[in-house]
Amino acid sequence: MPWKNGGGETTEIFVSPVSGNFDWRVSIAKVNADGPFSTFAGYERHIMTLSGEGMTLDIAGRGKFDLKPFKPFSFSGDLQVLGSLLNGPVLDFNLMVRRDFGRGILTVQDCNAGHRLGSEQSLHLFHVLKGECEVGGGHVRPNDSFWLGAGEHDSLSAQMKLVICEITPHVIPAPVA
């Protein structure tokens, strides 16, 4: 989706639910120019750069913060934010979670073969940065994403570098029968 201000474009990886106001969303954005971020009132935002030399976020009332590759940063979607590229375009990874739905954590992890994924309380979306293997009956490789619901688990069959989005709802949904 191209941005209204022409400064970049967003590729939505996953959104829940798919219509109406989302509870959580994962996306990758190509940022081509300095400019304001869209506000998302009621959401907590988690962001990190995947490529490029980085970006400075000037967050109203909080100051300036430099985004570096693979170093997650969190801020309120309610705040006015101005992004300034450090030296050319960047690709950034975004997790947004509606505060009254739950909370989110964004991390990057190097995982060995046999690493167990998933948890009882949280759902997880994984985005592959390096490596490839079989997960959940499918083959994943760099730039693929997959997810596990609360209570679902899987193990990696090979070494991988993953972006991990952990989303913990305030109320745990009942398992689907």
Residue 18: pLDDT over 90: no
The CATH number linked to 147 is 2.60.120.10
**Lowest mean pLDDT segment, chosen from 7-11, 64-68, 80-84, 109-113:** 7-11
Q: What is the pLDDT of residue 176?
A: 61
- Whether 25 contacts 42, CB under 8 Å: no
Query: Do 47 and 71 touch, CB atoms closer than 8 A?
Result: no
Q: Tokens at residue 157, please?
A: 């069959």
**pLDDT value, residue 174:** 59
Please indicate, yes or no, if residue 175 is contained in any of the structural domains.
Answer: no
Q: How confident is the model at residue 3 (pLDDT cuts 50, 70, 90)?
A: confident
pLDDT tens for 33-77 read 999 998 999 999 999 999 999 999 999 989 999 998 999 999 999
Q: Does any domain span residue 109?
A: yes
Amino acid at 44: E
The answer to whether the peptide bond before residue 17 is cis (omega within 30 degrees of 0) is: yes
Domain boundary among 98, 113, 128: 98
Per the listing, tokens 């760099």 go with: 142
Q: Is the dihedral of CA 121, 126, 132, 134 positive or negative?
A: positive
Identity of the amino acid at 116: R
Is residue 78 in some structural domain?
yes
pLDDT of residue 5 exceeding 90, the answer is no
Does one domain contain both 91 and 130? no
Both structure tokens of 99: 């505060």
Mean pLDDT of the chain: 92
pLDDT for residue 142 is more than 80: yes
- Residue 20 binned pLDDT confidence (cut-offs 50, 70, 90): confident
Residues 35 and 92 in one domain: yes
Name the nearest CA neighbour of 84 among 7, 27, 28. 7
For residues 90 and 174, give the distance between their C-alpha atoms in angstroms, rounded to a whole number.
39
* Residue 4: per-residue pLDDT: 64
Q: Starting from the edge strand earliest in sequence, which strands make up the sheet with 145-148, in order? A: 102-111, 160-169, 123-130, 145-148
**Is the same domain home to 92 and 107?**
no
Q: Which pLDDT does position 177 carry in this prediction?
A: 57
